[in-house]
Amino acid sequence: MNVVPAWWKLLQLPVAVTVGGYVLLAITAPFLAERALYHPGMASRRAPSGMITLRDPAGRAVAALHLPNPGARFTLWFFHGNAEDLGDLEPLLETLQAAGFAVFASEYPGYGFSEGAPSEEAIYRAARVARDYLRRELGVPAARTILMGRSLGGGPAVQLATEERVGGLVLQSAFTSVYRVVTRWPLLPFDQFANERKLARISAPVLVMHGAADEVIPFWHGERLLAAAPGVKRSLWIPGARHNDFGEVAGPRLLEALREFAALCEQAGPRSDSGAVP
């Protein structure tokens, strides 16, 4: 007759509760993450002047905007954050154009005038449609493209930077991965937008910008992303900046950092592609 030790009897309930809680977390995490991640209804739903409507292979609309700059050395492809779209971005994109960049931006499924429902894979697919247009129709090569992802936009920016050798990658107020915004530690064997892990595969120069007082995506995410970048890298840490006021608190330092980074990308990039972008 087997006798169950008294200590095991005491542990059975806590162990069962812990295991059950972990299984429940693993099952519900993807659904909870999507509800927390995507808020397209909070964006402007306003079409900016010159908006382009592209089509994915299924015929769904992907909204994009191109602001040319004949004297620019790089096209800055901006990936927006949550609860914003091209209508919200228009003043910022015009500022970036005036700062010396050609500018390109596209929306995620369900945001603004892009059709479909947002998810990690859907966002990647829409970004690839926009990339095909940027490369084939606008004639902008990867080496002359700097990808800039803000917050949620860091996910598609990092992913696309793993798929081709771009001129540079800028991450503003981005996360290491989705679940670690909540848990800090990687508690699950799967995650979404695993930016920190993917950075090891990126050889382009990287600029990480983060507010030291970010209350949504804590500052340590920026530090970890910078540490994960294997090559040439720079940082811009802004004391007192929170998640949604980074640009205002940073002031002219943001554009200065982008110009300096573009010069760094010019030095680090291939010598054979020296012309201005369209």
Active site residues: 151, 214, 243
Q: For residues 166 and 236, give the distance between their C-alpha atoms in angstroms, rounded to a whole number.
A: 21
Structure tokens given for 80: 């927006």
**Cα separation, 48 vs 222, whole angstroms:** 31
Q: How far apart are CA 110 and CA 116, in angstroms?
A: 5
Which of helix, strand or coil describes residue 106? strand
Q: Would you say 172 and 238 are in contact if contact means Cβ atoms under 8 Å apart?
A: no
Q: How far apart are CA 161 and CA 20, in angstroms?
A: 38
Q: Which of 188, 166, 164, 165 is nearest to 33 (CA)?
A: 188
Backbone CA torsion sign across 174, 178, 179, 182? positive
CA distance 103 to 92: 10
Distance CA 213, CA 123 (A): 28
Cα–Cα distance between 123 and 153 in angstroms, integer?
Answer: 10
Asked if 102 and 174 touch (Cβ cutoff 8 Å), the reply is: no
